[in-house]
Structure 1
Amino acid sequence: MSVVKSPLPEQASKTVGDALQGALVDLIDLSLLGKQVHWNVVGPRFRSIHLQLDEVVKCARLASDTVAERASALSVPPDGRAETVARTSVVGTVTDGWVKDSEVVEIMVAALDKVIGRMRARIAATDEPDPVTQDLLIGITGDLEKHHWMFEAENA
């Protein structure tokens, strides 16, 4: 059943739908990872990293909503279920319990590296079939790269 007719041709819709679904999964998982380490960070830089993690989580959550709504507008039903995120994300996991502030920085740099790399591939994939989606992904990637830079600066 299709509620909305996609303005894109079938092959373009498939390419763009795959890009948006992948972005949705990665952004949801990034927000979950960010919250997990947010709750468990310890160390002398606790406060600054704790607050910085809130910014990443907010960014990822807002972006995931934007991505899901773009998918819906193109007649691609977004799938943000926990099972789908767990099965298809590459963000990675963290151990349970307390996490040293320096380790949180490393975790976030690695997670953002993975998500940014995949977002850049999606930007390239959506260039021809849908510049509107590409533009959306470019903006989100710019925000993620800003957070990546800020976490990397923590280890400088």
Structure 2
Amino acid sequence: MTLHSEKTHTATPPYRASAEVAAHLQALHVDLIDLHLQGKQAHWNVVGKNFRDLHLQLDEVVTDARTFSDQVAERMRAIYITPDGRAATVAAQTSLATFPADEIDTAETVDLITAALYAVAATARRIHDDVDAEDPTTADILHTILERVEQLAWMIDSENRIANRSIPRAISS
């Protein structure tokens, strides 16, 4: 008895991503994986003032980055793109700056993780309009990612800000 059918499987999805959307989503996927890895590296090696609070915030970054990279990868599969999250691919394709290997002071960690969060946000913003023009459903995922990543950046960056003297200054009406 044969369990595998010899018949050729054919599917006719109503939408398949273009090569451009595939490249865009791969770029975001890689950045999110790197954010997760950098968040863990920081989490393990951060030291200094307000250690515990930042240590716990970094776990939020890691959890969200992992969740979002999985969501992007699963969306990629749903629209017939093969995601590549291998270590060598992430290292070669990430847009995030390299994170230090040693212990790192809390204030420097804040600056580096904020920069990494904004790099992910920049990738999502850069690809958004092209993705939205072709597939608004996928663009909705980008909206969710942007909302949370920029919120995390604001919260973490606030650790180093000085009220009414830090850049960027709040917009007042």
Give 1:127 deviation, angstroms: 1.5
Q: Does 1:21 align with 2:21?
A: no
Gaps of 5+ in 2: 1-8, 162-173
Matched residues in 2 for 1:92 and 1:3: separation? 43
- Note if 1:111 corresponds to 2:120: no
Q: Distance in 1 between matches of 2:137 and 2:151?
A: 22
- For residue 99 of structure 1, the aligned residue among 104, 109, 124 is 104
Do the aligned partners of residues 22 and 6 (structure 1) sit closer, same or farther apart at CA in structure 2, a change above 3 Å counting? farther
Q: Give me the identity figure in percent.
A: 45
Residues paired across the two proteins, number: 153
Q: Does 1:36 align with 2:41?
A: yes
Residue 16 of structure 1: how far off its partner (Å): 1.8
Larger radius of gyration: 2
Cα offset for 1:35?
A: 0.3
Q: Which runs of 5+ in 1 are unaligned?
A: none
Alpha-carbon shift at residue 92 of structure 1 (Å): 1.5
The structure where helix makes up a greater share of residues is: 1
- CA contact under 8 A between 1:4 and 1:74: conserved in structure 2? no
Q: Does 1:54 align with 2:64?
A: no
- Residue 82 (structure 1) aligns with: 87
Aligned to 2:14: 7
Q: Which has the higher contact order (CA 8 A, sep 6+)?
A: 1
**CA–CA distance in structure 2, aligned partners of residues 4 and 53 of structure 1:** 42
- Could you list the per-position Cα deviations for residues 12-31 of structure 1 after superposition, in whole angstroms to 9, with x for gaps in the alignment? 52222112111110000000
Return the offset for 1:94. 2.0
Q: Which runs of 4 or more aligned residues in structure 1 lie more than 6 Å from their structure 2 counterparts after TM superposition? A: none
Q: Provide TM-score, normalisation by structure 2.
A: 0.83
Instruction: Give TM-score, length-normalised by structure 1.
Output: 0.92
Conserved 8 A contact 2:118-2:149: no
**Equivalent residue for 1:134, pick from 131, 139, 144:** 139
| Equivalent position of 1:120 in the other structure | 125
